[in-house]
Amino acid sequence: MQNFDAIVIGSGQGGNPLAKKMEEKGWKTALIEQRFLGGTCINDGCTPTKAMIACAKVAHTVFHSKHWGVHSHSMFVDLPFIVARKNNIVSEFRGGTQKGLASDKVTVFMGTASFTGNKTIKVTGFKGEEEILTAPHIFINTGTSPHIPSIPGLEEVPYLTSTTILDEITVPKELLILGGSYIALELGQMYQRLGSHVTVIETGSQLVSKEDTDVAAVIKKMLESEDMQIHTGAQATRVYRNGKKISIDITAGGGKDTLTGTHLLVATGRTPNTAALDLKNTRILTDEKGYIQVNDQLETTEPGIYALGDVKGGPQFTHISYNDHLIIYKNLFEKANVSTRNRQVPYCMFTDPQLGRIGITEKEALQEGIPFKVACLSMDKVARAIETGQTRGFMKALVHEHTNAILGAAIIGPEGGEIMSVLQMAMLGGITATQIREMVFAHPLYAESLNNLFMTLEKPAS
């Protein structure tokens, strides 16, 4: 048995910085990882997808270059090169994580962690070798994996997930995608731009179900304008091999249809990595889906054991996992009293154009009975967007009816995530819509149009 002051399970976006900081503070810290250092974000999530999405944008720009008066006569997509470029970036980031942990002298165990008691953990290495570790403080950062829905026949066809598809070196000719949210739309548009014919099948009545209907409608229109086929309100009832292809029977709008493609990507959400942890040997409780229950300071139902990142449920983003580690660290080492309550949750869907989001939606404001007004500006009224030839999308902000405080925003447009961050900062600092309407921005930035966005509160844009 090896004794530590702290054990971190999972090399995720919260676990790595927390392990390093605890070691720096003199706590002897172990970190256990069963796959790759760096977790989902670096190895299967943000880094590889955003690296490949950048290539798809170049392909799209070259393919449509005549809109900018530039003619390119021959172009082809070199997917093996794109995948190799992505792998190099991933390796570099993974190597950086490894170096960082080593330089801070965190003891890394490669293997799968499971609890044998409340504060004892067994690590099973890749060759079956076992180590027992114990510590008074344990931090679970084991993340999530692709959720595979139970649809008749799905297990009999060779489906792809967001992890496996990224290593395909041939562009799928016809790509069927189950799901119509972040992963489905980012990867769907990416493969469409790289040369696939993409069909999205979403059970919900709209894409990106959490967003307002006008936001979802604009995203659907934008993707359809790139020839993606989108079926919403569609229930997949059966999946089967059809010669060399895969077919899916769907019911939608009271009718039936069969969709066929060469490949199938399942992007229907994530499931928490808690099964292997053997939590039954502890007093840690999970919810019905397996997510670990925590209080607003991220402590589980077992004192001294915390959960951070996706495995605790709630918004699943890298920056939230990172912020979780700050909450835990500050409370433990700086005697702070910070929590997840009222934390800002910004996010950006990296379609092109992007969807940048912060604060509440119109749907939520109505549910909560908050008096609000809506500022809305189409991207084809934004000078910078007209100049760069990227006029799809719109800016929308919810403003408090009486105080003019900004309650939330959705920016669909070029650099939508960056523009959203300007509003996020305003929300944090209590800067009102009136102040932004009159603020001096550099011309001609996209953000400059925040002046015009808030002018629409007095006079809607024509």
Ligand X SMILES: NC(=O)c1ccc[n+]([C@@H]2O[C@H](COP(=O)([O-])OP(=O)(O)OC[C@H]3O[C@@H](n4cnc5c(N)ncnc54)[C@H](O)[C@@H]3O)[C@@H](O)[C@H]2O)c1
Number of residues in contact with ligand FAD under rule CB under 6 A: 36
For residues 150-168, b (16+ Cβ closer than 10 Å) or e, as one string?
A: ebebbeebebbbbeebbee
Q: Kindly state whether residue 391 participates in binding ligand FAD, applying the rule CB under 6 A.
A: no
Q: Which residue stretch of 125-133, 254-262, 310-318, 425-433 sits at the interface with ligand FAD (rule: CB under 6 A)? A: 310-318
**Between residues 286 and 316, which has the closer beta carbon with respect to ligand FAD?**
316
Q: What is the largest CA-CA distance in the chain?
A: 72
Cβ–Cβ < 8 Å for 230, 224:
yes
Which residue in the shown chain puts its C-beta closest to ligand X?
A: 181
Q: Which of 67, 71, 402, 443 is catalytic?
A: 443
Q: Which residue stretch of 45-53, 188-196, 254-262, 285-293 sits at the interface with ligand FAD (rule: CB under 6 A)? A: 45-53
CA proximity to 111, closest of 97, 130, 83, 93: 130
d(CA 57, CA 192): 11
Q: How many CB atoms lie within 10 A of CB 326?
A: 17
Site for ligand X, rule CB under 6 A: 149, 151, 178-184, 186, 201-204, 209, 236, 267-270, 316-317, 347-350
**Which partner, ligand X, ligand FAD, none, binds residue 232 by CB below 5 to 8 Å per kind?**
none
Question: Is 275 in a helix, a strand, or coil?
Answer: helix
For 341-399, the DSSP string reads: TT----EEE-SSSEEEEEE--HHHHHHHT--EEEEEEEGGG-HHHHHHT----EEEEEE
Catalytic residue check, 64: no
153 to 172, contacts with ligand FAD by CB under 6 A?
Answer: 162
At closest approach, how far in Å is the CB of 411 from ligand X? 14
**Which partner, ligand X, ligand FAD, none, binds residue 236 by CB below 5 to 8 Å per kind?**
ligand X
Q: Kindly state whether residue 143 participates in binding ligand FAD, applying the rule CB under 6 A.
A: yes
Cβ–Cβ < 8 Å for 200, 220:
no
Q: Kindly state whether residue 386 participates in binding ligand FAD, applying the rule CB under 6 A.
A: no
Q: Kindly state whether residue 41 participates in binding ligand FAD, applying the rule CB under 6 A.
A: yes
Q: Kindly state whether residue 286 participates in binding ligand FAD, applying the rule CB under 6 A.
A: no
Question: Is 318 in a helix, a strand, or coil?
Answer: helix
Q: Kindly state whether residue 133 participates in binding ligand FAD, applying the rule CB under 6 A.
A: no
**Between residues 152 and 430, which has the closer beta carbon with respect to ligand X?**
152
Structure tokens at 306: 């915390």
Question: Is 443 in a helix, a strand, or coil?
Answer: coil
For 139-198, the DSSP string reads: EE---EEE-----TTGGGS--B-TTTGGG--S--SEEEEE--SHHHHHHHHHHHHHT-EE
Tell me how far CA of residue 295 lies from CA of 10, 307, 312, 390, in angstroms: 20, 10, 10, 44
335 to 364, contacts with ligand FAD by CB under 6 A?
Answer: 350
Binding mask 244-283 for ligand FAD (x = CB under 6 A): -----------------------------x--xx------
Cβ–Cβ < 8 Å for 101, 31:
yes
Q: Kindly state whether residue 316 participates in binding ligand FAD, applying the rule CB under 6 A.
A: yes
* Chain residues in the site for ligand FAD (CB under 6 A): 9-14, 32-35, 39-41, 44-46, 49, 112-113, 141-143, 162, 183, 273, 276-277, 309-311, 316-319, 321, 350
Q: Which residues are known binding-site members for NAD(+)?
A: 179-186, 202, 269
Which residues sit in the known binding site for FAD?
50, 310
